Structure 1
Amino acid sequence: MTILLESCQIAPAPGGAAELSLPMTFIDIFWLHFHPIRRLLFYEFPCSKAYFLEAFVPKLKESLSLALKHYLPLAGNLVYPSNTEKKPIIRYVAGESVSVSIAESANDFDNLVGNHARDADQFYDFMPQLQLTTDESGDKLLQLLAVQVTLFPGRGVCIGLTNHHSAGDANSIVGFLRSWASISKHGGDEELLITQGESLPLFDRSLIKVRPGLDSIYWNYAKEIPLQPPSFPLPTNRVRATYVLNQSAIKKLKDAVLSRNPDLVHTSSFVVMAAHIWTCLVRSLAAGEEERADDDGDELETFLFAVDSRARLDPPVPGNYFGNCLSYGMERIRHQDLVGNEGFFLAAESIADVIKNRVNDKEKIFAGVENWLTEVGAVTQSNFFAVSGSARVDLYSTDFGWGKVRKLETLSIDGEKYAMSLCKAGASEGGLEVGLSLPKVKMDAFAAAFADGIKGS
């Protein structure tokens, strides 16, 4: 059982701009109707309720306020105009703030931070909601960030963050989290300004060089879809589990791929991990269901992943650009080929080819950009598997002053038909951590396929 102890609003500390208004790029609009991104960071920190309320929470509130001074958009709103001749904007005005909930839970902390399959619904006790309201002009205002801090007395603390994807991609939100953690750990933002002064967020939308009019093309498509209040996908009817590929497992997969195709370019950790997870998932999805009809073997399976494009554009966009700067990679393979004996190798070769010939090609990274919405929209109506997060993202090192993250959970994948969360592994140097949310019978089948694939590679 989880009990709400306090609800409050945290405004940016004095000293920042009084107002900030940002136009939405075509990439921001791409994510306009996407479900919020939901992350839980669990920390082992055995403290009493008294200490939690009298010392721990006030410190977090103060550091959050200081962090928001540098990340003003997160304290503001997405303004969705009632007059759709206008475009939506991201806006902060003085007096706006972030909703923060303080809670206490009697749930089993050790069970929650495990890797084994656990009921997915229970994690929503620790996750805040974004609020959608309407102002006096009829414009809709959608919160961009909400926070919940939950105490597990004597065991630990969970920080839950919900953010709207249109505000920024993983690179941006992780940058905010690291800044907040630095301020909390060092007792102020002086250390942040000294060590990360050149990495503080840039909001200049002109840094992304694209042909004019793309934002209008995307808005004309997006405005036909009503903006809905964010909601939890409950009941999920799923379990959550985590799978870690350590360096040894990744090397075995790479060696297997290269033994078959020694000349394959870009056989990265991401490539072999993605190929292994994708093939195991597709093979396990039939668990508990009738076999496909014979003529369904020609149906295409799709693998879809977002790509941070900052360093890949020409000219490159600075790494501290705050917003969305993403492209995507996509590969499609016939179902019968993907589930066959050669499926893992076909997947690895195909994903490596996409990265070489599209993702890492500055001439192609934004190719056909005017058609992205319709292309991705069509794919998501069929069998697809998506990635949330990045192999380069290290959230486990986010230290607010009480140590590194004990466990990360990305609840956003519950809202997808099938997706995996991805980040650097917390307990395995050089490893990758994958989170999945599946019906129980399919998760059991996946676990067996995952282990067999590593063993047999």
Structure 2
Amino acid sequence: MAVQFEVKVLEHCRVSPPPNSVPTTSLPLTFFDIPWLLCRPMQRILLYEFGCSTAQFVTDVLPQLKHSLSLALQLFFPLSAAECGGVFSDLLRGGLRDAKEIHPLVPPIPIPPSRILNESLLELTPLLALQVTLFPNMGICVGIQFNHVVADGMACTYFLKTWASLFQSRSGLSCIDEVLPVVDRGVIKDTDRIEDVLLNQWRGWGSPRWKDNAATVGLLEEKVRATFVLTRGDIEKLKNWVSGKCISAKHTKPVHISSFVVACAFTWVCVIKSQDKITNDSFGDEDLCHFSFVADCRNRKEISVPSTYFGNCLAICFVSVKRGLFRGEDSIALAADAIGRRVQELESGVLVGAEKWLLQWNEVSETGDLLTVAGSPRLALYETDFGWGRPRLVEMVQIDASGAMYLTEARNEKGGVEVGLARSRAQLEAFSSIFQLGKDQLQQC
């Protein structure tokens, strides 16, 4: 049964950097930004157990949240605070959950009307909305909606952790002892004029479909979501099993096997098998299944972008495998080998084929059999501490509509991975049983 939240807005305000603390400027798009013009905003919630009354929240916590946010914005742009009458523990329960139940915890980004400027149609798009929801005497939820065109997940997480540090310290910017964020778009060099190529391709796509709110709400109907865990032991067994299969089949070790590769391969195979189960194998063996992930391009020699760059700096990668290969005993090893080879290819140049990112995205999206990855264990979202301890739960909400899988580090075990999915109840139940069966079989290896 879905949790019925009643969210009462306590305050809605705009938070800006301190007056005269930042210059009036505009940032140009880089070729890394253009693909994300087509994508939904990132949506996250972080739930903390914290015994805080409404009175304490309004008089102490909320003012400090706004002050520390203002300071964080000085470094790196509406914040709403709400009180929720829902049962906090229901959000932490395991199993399948109605996808719509957590959406009241994510602030909307209002889409302002377009206007004409210099005889051209100008679309205004807000970049950031934050919502802090209080479950009186139980916990606090921090919700964020962030326009992907301004920055990627790594940069967004950097911003969130900076805000958390400023709130926890209550000592102003003096607590920020790390290297400050780099916002200069000039660090992105485009010697091959990739931006021009991608812009021309983007113009042919039209307005992103996610801006149709009615369509987005419709995507949530009949959806359920769940989080699955691969323990550190599961990951190590997967690595060993995949390596053994590759050696026996090819007499050579796989080119690249990592926690990310095997977690993605295992999940991808389970998704495909769950599709087959609920459709009675109606797909053909020759049908292609596509998988897409991104690779962080910071700190790579060929483009020399610093790790603290605040913007988008992701290469988009695609892998395609015939569905029939997922129906054999070695499907996970085959998927891992395919993903690992694509990861290894990045060593030859992260920007190789960058001019085709949008064309490839369009091509694989049209097949309807594309699984993408949101998030990464490297973001370490469970280390976002406002002084209330580590989050009890981290969710990436946009997958309810996008159909992506998300990855985060496991909360309770170093080296483990959490996998989030939203699907129809029938498919997610099938996925859950296949996922657990796969884990059980690993224990016998």
TM-score (norm 1): 0.88
Q: Which runs of 5+ in 1 are unaligned?
A: 76-98
Q: CA deviation at 1:135?
A: 5.2
2:279 counterpart (266, 280, 289): 289
Retained in 1: the 8 A contact 2:316–2:357?
no
Q: Could you tell me which residue of structure 2 aligns to residue 436 of structure 1? A: 421
After the TM superposition, which residues 195-234 of structure 1 pair with which residues of structure 2 at under 5 Å, given as runs? 195-196=177-178, 198=179, 200-211=180-191, 213-224=193-204, 225-226=206-207, 229=211, 231=213, 233-234=216-217
Q: CA deviation at 1:427?
A: 1.2
2:399 counterpart (393, 397, 413): 413
Look up the equivalent residue of 1:288 and give its one-letter code: I
Q: CA deviation at 1:212?
A: 5.1
CA RMSD after TM alignment: 1.7
Q: Could you tell me which residue of structure 2 aligns to residue 274 of structure 1? A: 264
Tell me the alpha carbon deviations over residues 190-210 of structure 1, each in whole angstroms, 9 at most, x when there is no partner.
3443x21x2x11122221222
Retained in 1: the 8 A contact 2:201–2:359?
no
Q: Does 1:156 align with 2:156?
A: no
After the TM superposition, which residues 335-346 of structure 1 pair with which residues of structure 2 at under 5 Å, given as runs? 335-346=323-334
Q: Does 1:35 align with 2:40?
A: yes
Q: Could you tell me which residue of structure 1 aligns to residue 364 of structure 2? A: 379
What is the distance in 2 between the residues matched to 1:386 and 1:226? 21
Q: Secondary structure at the match of 1:11?
A: coil
Retained in 1: the 8 A contact 2:278–2:430?
no
Q: Could you tell me which residue of structure 2 aligns to residue 324 of structure 1? A: 312
Retained in 2: the 8 A contact 1:271–1:352?
yes
Q: Could you tell me which residue of structure 2 aligns to residue 257 of structure 1? A: 242
Q: Secondary structure at the match of 2:430?
A: helix
Q: Secondary structure at the match of 1:297?
A: coil
What is the distance in 2 between the residues matched to 1:315 and 1:440? 44
Q: Which runs of 5+ in 2 are unaligned?
A: 1-5, 248-252
What is the distance in 1 between the residues matched to 2:281 and 2:126? 44
What is the distance in 1 between the residues matched to 2:17 and 2:411? 31
Q: Could you tell me which residue of structure 2 aligns to residue 81 of structure 1? A: none
What is the distance in 1 between the residues matched to 2:428 and 2:65? 36
Retained in 1: the 8 A contact 2:274–2:427?
yes
What is the distance in 1 between the residues matched to 2:27 and 2:433? 48
Poorly superposed stretches of 4+, deviation over 6 Å: none
The change in CA–CA distance for 1:16 and 1:346 in structure 2 (over 3 A counts) is: same
Q: Does 1:130 align with 2:109?
A: yes
Retained in 2: the 8 A contact 1:14–1:69?
no
Q: Does 1:393 align with 2:399?
A: no
What is the distance in 1 between the residues matched to 2:326 and 2:25? 49
Retained in 2: the 8 A contact 1:329–1:359?
no
Retained in 1: the 8 A contact 2:71–2:173?
no
- Which region of structure 1 is more displaced relative to structure 2, 223-232 or 52-61? 223-232
After the TM superposition, which residues 150-189 of structure 1 pair with which residues of structure 2 at under 5 Å, given as runs? 150-189=133-172
Q: CA deviation at 1:290?
A: 4.2
Q: Could you tell me which residue of structure 2 aligns to residue 61 of structure 1? A: 66
Q: Could you tell me which residue of structure 2 aligns to residue 113 of structure 1? A: 92
What is the distance in 2 between the residues matched to 1:266 and 1:288? 33
The change in CA–CA distance for 1:242 and 1:191 in structure 2 (over 3 A counts) is: farther
Q: Secondary structure at the match of 1:438?
A: strand
Aligned length: 422
What is the distance in 2 between the residues matched to 1:452 and 1:169? 35
Q: Secondary structure at the match of 1:301?
A: strand
What is the distance in 2 between the residues matched to 1:379 and 1:219? 19
Retained in 1: the 8 A contact 2:226–2:421?
yes
Look up the equivalent residue of 2:213 and give its one-letter code: S
What is the distance in 2 between the residues matched to 1:114 and 1:420? 19
1:298 counterpart (283, 286, 311): 286
